[in-house]
Amino acid sequence: MGVELRPGTRADTPFICSVFRDALPLYETLMPGILEANIANLETLEAMGLSFAATGLEAHIFEHQGQPFGFSGIGILNPEQAYLATFYLLPEHQRQGLGSQALKVLCQLYATQGFREILLQAHQRAPWAVNFYLRNGFTEQARGPAAIAAALPTIAHLVETETLLLQRIL
């Protein structure tokens, strides 16, 4: 049985928050406060009775053998481009090929919906993330805030320092 993908629901918010919490040790020095802010925002949305969709992103939960092991959040930039804002797996499910399978299923989903490419930012000091995306068909399009904002003005407000813009043609 392979990786399955399903749309995230309001009931998935605690799971998504737990995945963010588990990712904190990897990212707290690279992007201080970012994951904590995501957790706080999701907890606020949940208290208001809203789902992850209220962030403006489409949530997808990755499951293997009926158990959730990760999630993604994708924003639609235009009818041809999607932006992978979040893609995290629980640590105990990493380095088993499940992330590559999940990314493949996610890309297939967006390809069938008519999207031409998926874009994302990866932190330059997170070689595990950069290498993962490069191994899975992404290529570097821009490096650093100014170059990323110039290449993709619609995400200029999301650009972090020391990031790369990566692209995968679908």
Please, what is the average pLDDT of the chain? 92
Q: Which residues does 78 contact at the CB level (< 8 Å), separation at least 6?
A: 154
Residue 165 CA to residue 100 CA, distance in Å, equals 19
Residue 52's pLDDT is 86
State residue 1's pLDDT score.
62
CA dihedral 84, 66, 51, 101 (to 10 degrees): 0
- Look at 31 and 2; give whichever has higher pLDDT: 2
Task: Give 3-169's CATH code, choosing from 1.10.3720.10, 3.40.190.10, 3.40.630.30, 3.90.1150.10.
Answer: 3.40.630.30
| pLDDT given at position 130 | 96
Question: Would you list the domain boundaries of the chain?
Answer: 3-169
pLDDT at 107: 97
Q: What is the per-residue pLDDT across 30-69, written as a single tens digit (0 to 9) for each?
A: 888 888 888 888 899 889 998 888 898 999 999 999 999 9
**Residue range 139-152, pLDDT digits in tens:** 999 999 999 999 99
Whole-model pTM: value is: 0.91
Instruction: For tokens 């993709």, name the residue.
Output: 152
Answer left, alpha or beta for residue 114, where phi above 0 means left and psi between -120 and 50 means alpha. left
The predicted pLDDT at position 60 comes to 97
